[in-house]
A and B are shown apart, each in its own frame.
Chain A
Amino acid sequence: QKEVEQNSGPLSVPEGAIASLNCTYSDRGSQSFFWYRQYSGKSPELIMFIYSNGDKEDGRFTAQLNKASQYVSLLIRDSQPSDSATYLCAVNQGGKLIFGQGTELSVKP
């Protein structure tokens, strides 16, 4: 069983829609959770991080964490073509980041 799982996609949404990206993790002791955006050929860029159950909002982005279900998600409202990228979920386990495979998001104009 993979430690951090994401649907690889591609996830295709129309411009202006809400994109929902999901991630599950296996280690119940995980304390913090990160979403990175990675454009093709570029390095990961931090979008959001969350460590308490519930929602955390930053502009068009909302991270949601449910530790009981071992589930973390990222919502992108009013999706733009510039949001088209791979989104990596990362979980802090013992000071190390464990990355999921990433979900490729495509926002169609």
Chain B
Amino acid sequence: DAMVIQNPRYQVTQFGKPVTLSCSQTLNHNVMYWYQQKSSQAPKLLFHYYDKDFNNEADTPDNFQSRRPNTSFCFLDIRSPGLGDAAMYLCATSITGPHQPQHFGDGTRLSIL
């Protein structure tokens, strides 16, 4: 089945130690998104790619970076994780268009020690 796959499902890192989360998709969607979701809060968009065009949200901390080497893969890099970065990180994909839904992966739960 076509899907959005996130690895790992659970990630534990130390305060200040860089971490990379990955997302792959077999849907051949041109748009990929990264969200951060904390407990009992709405998903918060960090950035997204239209094909190779990177779009950063104004309030996304500089600590968060992203790479999209090809259509299928997208990475979220957190350069120096702080305790406040502990959250669920969600990857989603869609096709360009106003009525196109976003399809989410299972998420990566990040814990900071």
Chain A residues with CB under 8 Å of chain B are: 31-32, 34, 36, 41-46, 49, 51, 88, 90, 92, 95-97, 99-102
Contact = CB atoms under 8 A, between A and B. Distances in A.
Contact of B106 (A34, A36, A43, A101): A43
B90 interface: yes
Q: Top 5 A-B pairs ranked by shortest CB distance?
A: A99-B42, A31-B98, A43-B107, A43-B104, A32-B99
Contacts of B102: 34, 46, 90, 97
B45 A100 contact: no
Contacts of A90: 102
B16 interface: no
A11 B41 CA distance: 17
A36 B99 CA distance: 15
Nearest to B45: A96
Interface in B40-59: 40-43, 45, 48
Contacts of A41: 88, 109
B42 A100 contact: yes
Contacts of A45: 104
Contacts of A96: 45, 48
Given A31-B99, A46-B102, A51-B98, 16 more contacts: A31-B98, A32-B98, A42-B106, A43-B104, A43-B105, A43-B107, A44-B43, A46-B101, A49-B99, A95-B31, A95-B96, A95-B98, A97-B45, A101-B42, A102-B40, A102-B42
B29 interface: no
28 contacts: A31-B99, A32-B98, A36-B104, A41-B109, A42-B106, A42-B107, A43-B88, A43-B104, A43-B105, A43-B106, A43-B107, A44-B43, A44-B104, A46-B102, A46-B103, A88-B43, A90-B102, A92-B99, A95-B96, A95-B98, A96-B48, A97-B45, A97-B102, A99-B43, A100-B42, A101-B41, A101-B42, A102-B42
A43 B3 CA distance: 13
A97 B101 CA distance: 9
Most B CB atoms within 10 A — which of A41, A43, A99? A43
